[in-house]
A and B are shown apart, each in its own frame.
Chain A
């Protein structure tokens, strides 16, 4: 058992910390549009040029080939510098990229991976549909074979940053007669083509990064299918395990800053013993999340693939996130009613935390996964 980092890890941390002092990006503009895209791709490009993109990715595709511990340090240090990891780069860097590394052909890796790391391409995700949320495998967007192409028709929802994306990782139904988990294909759709209609959705934090995307006879070459045709569910599970696993690490680390922000607010405004008791618990909660993350990184480092334990961290994260942000607005008293459109503000965090038990698989679904796959309870 050891927490100590190797000398290499220490050097990596110190160099990154120093670099961030000079190179931290400006805060993102409030609207999803060209200015946001320009900011995000410039940030990714500067990471890439400095050797801080694709920490664990293979070297031949522009990655650094470093360890998961160094990836964790990257999340810690960028969060420490106040940089949010939830941006338009997230799907490419933390989702589509790792899936392509796991399941793509050499040609696909060479074609798609380097542009993700260089910031040349923004990716979005098309998994959920209006009638396929928790029951994702019931998705109905069709892809019919026509020569060397698949022709897509249907609707996807909760697609973040579709407005500014170049590519979309998608799950579509290629065999309507097969059992629902077996007729699904994972493919990459070019977002800059006719037949794609993007409708932004206003969320309760009054921004519009989520979209509903409609497809009318949209063409995707067969060469852009990742994994085998009809084998998309297996490919998606790799992606989802990753999402439940370390992809949320940055937000977890960031939450410890929120707790200290609450401590400062409580000291400045004053609060009673009952509130201080909740603050004490919040400090323990955020510490426990960090420890869970370290334990998960230790497990993945030994066993190579994220397992269902990722759902434990996600469950805890959702619960702790909501408890801490509720504490934040309670400490603010009546000022907790003042909405501030800045994701560092406690009231914004309070509303945003309501998504923590829904996005990426609801807590109810996570509990099913834990109960059935970890505890062995009957379905």
Chain B
């Protein structure tokens, strides 16, 4: 047993890290938010190609952690599922879909509850402003697509869990850096226990998310007993970590954390967005309760409802 990334995962990370560090650091995000400047298309293309080379579940998940840490745009994340930069969509309860990322992408990755599908570009698009100011959003109509097989669908969810764990880490890094350099009362604010303990809590959540995401990806790769339970645990732990760490990052930045150009709020909005791609907190909890080795719903002892009942299709 060895849960740490090995040579395959390290090599996959090494392919994306230089691009991420050069173009997607906190300073670069600050500038982009201030000047409303998009990530250059060639950077997205090169990043998507590099990330897309991670074809397995463990290497792809570890790469996704790096993407989350540096707030890589949603179309780079979806490229790991679709093979090329793509938009992401989820079914809307009132019908149709909500679309995130470039509306003109050649492919849309649709995340249902468990099933995941690929479709053509939307037939109708009704643009909306997103909580995340760097991600285009729209209500859209999609044509029926093709569903990924179970293993590919699970891999795509593990990638999203990895991205959330990365968001948790990135928000933590941003807050820690600020706590070391921001001086008040003649000392760095991070010398105060109220601040350092909040950051220690971030580190604990990040470690929990990282460990569970690694465990879930490895369980999927090896078809370890109950891989879907472990995947759900990874999703839940990473969701909670990303959300709480982003809120801590905003708070630790004080007034600056409330400004548009401080990237802390991007971590929060992106965490909420990816959580919705995964079905939202209630659906994630249902998976944790419903996934036992015998397939029975823990609440009632009866069979779980059909996991694939919300396959993406036109409504």
**Contact of B6 (CB < 8 Å), options: A1, A279, A292, A299:** A1
Contact flags A351-372 to B (C-beta < 8 A → 1, else 0): 0000000000000101110111
**With A and B bound together, what is the CA distance between A294 and B207 in angstroms?**
12
Distance between B282 CB and nearest chain A CB, rounded to angstroms: 8
Pairwise interchain contact B196-A368, C-beta atoms closer than 8 A: yes
Given contacts A263-B298, A368-B196, A379-B191, contact A1 B2 (CB under 8 A): yes
Pairwise interchain contact A377-B190, C-beta atoms closer than 8 A: yes
Pairwise interchain contact A294-B3, C-beta atoms closer than 8 A: yes
A338 within 8 A of B: no
**With A and B bound together, what is the CA distance between A370 and B224 in angstroms?**
32
B84 within 8 A of A: no
Distance between B138 CB and nearest chain A CB, rounded to angstroms: 31
State which residues 169-198 of B face A: CB under 8 Å: 176, 179-180, 187-188, 190-191, 193, 195-197
Contact flags B95-137 to A (C-beta < 8 A → 1, else 0): 0000000000000000000000000000000000000000000
B299 within 8 A of A: yes
Pairwise interchain contact A298-B2, C-beta atoms closer than 8 A: yes
State which residues 127-172 of A face B: CB under 8 Å: none
Contact flags A14-37 to B (C-beta < 8 A → 1, else 0): 000000000000000000000000
B199 within 8 A of A: yes
Distance between A272 CB and nearest chain B CB, rounded to angstroms: 11
Pairwise interchain contact B218-A3, C-beta atoms closer than 8 A: yes
B233 within 8 A of A: yes
Pairwise interchain contact A267-B301, C-beta atoms closer than 8 A: yes
Distance between A71 CB and nearest chain B CB, rounded to angstroms: 12
Which chain B residues lie closer than 8 Å to A297 at the CB level? 1, 3
Which chain A residues lie closer than 8 Å to B267 at the CB level? none
Pairwise interchain contact B191-A291, C-beta atoms closer than 8 A: no
From DSSP, what is the main secondary structure of chain A's interface residues? helix
Pairwise interchain contact A371-B197, C-beta atoms closer than 8 A: yes
Pairwise interchain contact A1-B211, C-beta atoms closer than 8 A: no
Select the stretch in B243-251, B257-265, B283-291 that faces chain A: B283-291
Distance between A331 CB and nearest chain B CB, rounded to angstroms: 13
Distance between A157 CB and nearest chain B CB, rounded to angstroms: 25
**With A and B bound together, what is the CA distance between A270 and B202 in angstroms?**
35
**With A and B bound together, what is the CA distance between A285 and B201 in angstroms?**
15
Pairwise interchain contact B211-A280, C-beta atoms closer than 8 A: no
A229 within 8 A of B: no
B94 within 8 A of A: no
Pairwise interchain contact A378-B180, C-beta atoms closer than 8 A: yes
Which chain B residues lie closer than 8 Å to A3 at the CB level? 1, 3, 215, 218-219, 222, 224
Distance between B298 CB and nearest chain A CB, rounded to angstroms: 5
Q: Which residue of A lies closest to B196 (CB)?
A: A371
**With A and B bound together, what is the CA distance between A266 and B6 in angstroms?**
41
State which residues 305-349 of A face B: CB under 8 Å: 309, 312-313, 315-316, 319
Pairwise interchain contact A280-B286, C-beta atoms closer than 8 A: yes
Which chain B residues lie closer than 8 Å to A223 at the CB level? none
Pairwise interchain contact A280-B201, C-beta atoms closer than 8 A: no
Given contacts A315-B200, A375-B200, contact A294 B233 (CB under 8 A): no
Pairwise interchain contact A294-B179, C-beta atoms closer than 8 A: no
B221 within 8 A of A: yes
Which chain B residues lie closer than 8 Å to A69 at the CB level? 1
A284 within 8 A of B: yes
Given contacts A69-B1, A288-B237, A364-B197, contact A377 B180 (CB under 8 A): yes
Pairwise interchain contact A377-B3, C-beta atoms closer than 8 A: no
Pairwise interchain contact B285-A295, C-beta atoms closer than 8 A: no
Pairwise interchain contact A284-B196, C-beta atoms closer than 8 A: no
**With A and B bound together, what is the CA distance between A181 and B5 in angstroms?**
38
Q: Which residue of B lies closest to A317 (CB)?
A: B204
**With A and B bound together, what is the CA distance between A5 and B222 in angstroms?**
11
Pairwise interchain contact A367-B197, C-beta atoms closer than 8 A: yes
Distance between A368 CB and nearest chain B CB, rounded to angstroms: 7
Which chain A residues lie closer than 8 Å to B3 at the CB level? 1-3, 291, 294-295, 297-298
Most buried by B among A281, A316, A377, A379: A377
Which chain B residues lie closer than 8 Å to A203 at the CB level? none
A287 within 8 A of B: yes
**With A and B bound together, what is the CA distance between A267 and B203 in angstroms?**
35
Contact flags B1-32 to A (C-beta < 8 A → 1, else 0): 11111100100000000000000000000000
Pairwise interchain contact A288-B233, C-beta atoms closer than 8 A: yes
B229 within 8 A of A: yes
Q: Which residue of A lies closest to B210 (CB)?
A: A295
Pairwise interchain contact B4-A1, C-beta atoms closer than 8 A: yes
B230 within 8 A of A: yes
**Contact of A370 (CB < 8 Å), options: B187, B204, B301:** B204
Distance between A194 CB and nearest chain B CB, rounded to angstroms: 45
**With A and B bound together, what is the CA distance between A327 and B69 in angstroms?**
33
Contact flags B198-239 to A (C-beta < 8 A → 1, else 0): 011101100111111011111101101000011011101100
Pairwise interchain contact B285-A378, C-beta atoms closer than 8 A: no
B58 within 8 A of A: yes
Given contacts A1-B58, A267-B301, A280-B236, contact A301 B2 (CB under 8 A): yes
* Minimum-distance CB pairs A-B, first 4: A280-B285, A287-B233, A371-B196, A367-B200
**Residue contacts A-B, CB under 8 angstroms, 11 given:** A1-B5, A3-B1, A3-B224, A277-B282, A277-B285, A279-B289, A291-B212, A292-B212, A367-B197, A371-B200, A375-B196
On B, residues with C-beta under 8 Å from A are: 1-6, 9, 58, 176, 179-180, 187-188, 190-191, 193, 195-197, 199-201, 203-204, 207-212, 214-219, 221-222, 224, 229-230, 232-234, 236-237, 282, 284-286, 288-289, 298-301
Instruction: List 16 additional contacts besides A287-B233, A367-B193; criterion CB under 8 Å.
Output: A266-B299, A267-B300, A280-B236, A280-B286, A284-B232, A287-B229, A287-B237, A288-B208, A291-B3, A291-B214, A291-B233, A294-B215, A297-B1, A316-B204, A374-B203, A377-B196
